Amino acid sequence: MTSAKISILLFATSLLLCTGCRVKKKLSEAIPIQHELWDTLLQTHVSDDGWVDYSGFRQDSQKLKTYLQLLSKNHPNDKHWSKDEQLAYWINAYNAYTVKIVADHYPVSGIKDIKNGIPFVNTVWDIKFIQIENHSYDLNNIEHGIIRKHFNEPRIHFAVNCASYSCPALINRAFTATSLDQQLDDAARRFINDPLRNHPAKNPAQLSKIFSWFKGDFTKNDDLKSFVNKYAIKPISADAKIQYLDYDWSLNDQQ
């Protein structure tokens, strides 16, 4: 066999071995970013009670775009970012991109009305409209594939906002690494004691369906009652049963 034929054979073999291979994505070298612009937008367009002025966000679309561009150019990484810097980034990103997709479709009666793809299969949370460096994400990727998978932090369920009435209220301040633990504690306390969303002192205790959907996150180190009672002003009694409230998916727009 000639050397030319051998070269062709080796090339063909390498192609076969690489069938289905994926090109490895370049690792980010980004350094931690500041979230002041998102903080300003939240203070301007979200009430202290967590109701959102989506029309205001539409009018401020250039500022929101600028913040999202900042996110898109700076992917968190283990080399330069602490765990708290990464988690604050991903919570802010989830909330900012949720506001973005709702504002783009506003007025809409609820986030579930924003659809893409196959009805009853693909939801708004499956739309890959988020580009961060060389990664494409949907909201599910961020919440379940990144935040819940890598941070083991049940309090994030009170921090990420799904733009709906029964969700934990959208906090009108950006999350930051320096204040993250206190902010997550405050978010847990606020949600658990919010009479629009939970009634822990009743018998049976009435809790958000979030505590049912993600029960495994809340019970890794505690039983559910113990977790709730760490934050409840009026705790669940020892003999109380737990009832989960219906979830209202109507939009959390300004009342």
Buried/exposed 153-167: b ≥16 CB within 10 Å, e otherwise: bbbbbbbbbbbbbbb
Are the C-beta atoms of 114 and 103 separated by less than 8 Å?
Answer: no
Given this model, what pLDDT does residue 159 score? Answer: 98
Given this model, what pLDDT does residue 61 score? Answer: 97
Are the C-beta atoms of 201 and 236 separated by less than 8 Å?
Answer: yes
Structure-block tokens of residue 143 = 């919440």
Given this model, what pLDDT does residue 154 score? Answer: 98
Given this model, what pLDDT does residue 122 score? Answer: 81
CB atoms within 10 A of CB 9: 11
What amino acid occupies position 58? R
**Listed residue (172, 160, 143, 191) closest to 56, CA to CA:** 172
Phi, psi of 105 (to 5 degrees): -105, 0
Q: Pinpoint the alpha helices (H) of the chain.
A: 3-17, 36-45, 54-59, 61-72, 83-105, 139-140, 148-151, 180-192, 210-213, 215-218, 224-229
Given this model, what pLDDT does residue 27 score? Answer: 81
What amino acid occupies position 150? H
**Listed residue (186, 174, 159) closest to 33, CA to CA:** 174
Given this model, what pLDDT does residue 8 score? Answer: 41
| E strands in 46-137 | 130-132, 135-137
Given this model, what pLDDT does residue 121 score? Answer: 60
Distance CA 101, CA 124 (A): 9
Given this model, what pLDDT does residue 115 score? Answer: 84
Given this model, what pLDDT does residue 117 score? Answer: 62
Structure-block tokens of residue 163 = 């733009």
What amino acid occupies position 105? H
Given this model, what pLDDT does residue 11 score? Answer: 44
| pLDDT averaged per 10 residues, the chain (length 255) | 45 43 68 98 97 98 98 98 98 98 97 78 91 97 98 98 98 98 98 98 98 97 96 97 98 88
CB atoms within 10 A of CB 76: 24
Given this model, what pLDDT does residue 222 score? Answer: 87
Structure-block tokens of residue 215 = 């029960």
Angle subtended at Cα 199 by Cα 153 and Cα 196, rounded to the nearest 5 degrees: 85
Given this model, what pLDDT does residue 120 score? Answer: 56
**Listed residue (89, 84, 96, 50) closest to 190, CA to CA:** 50
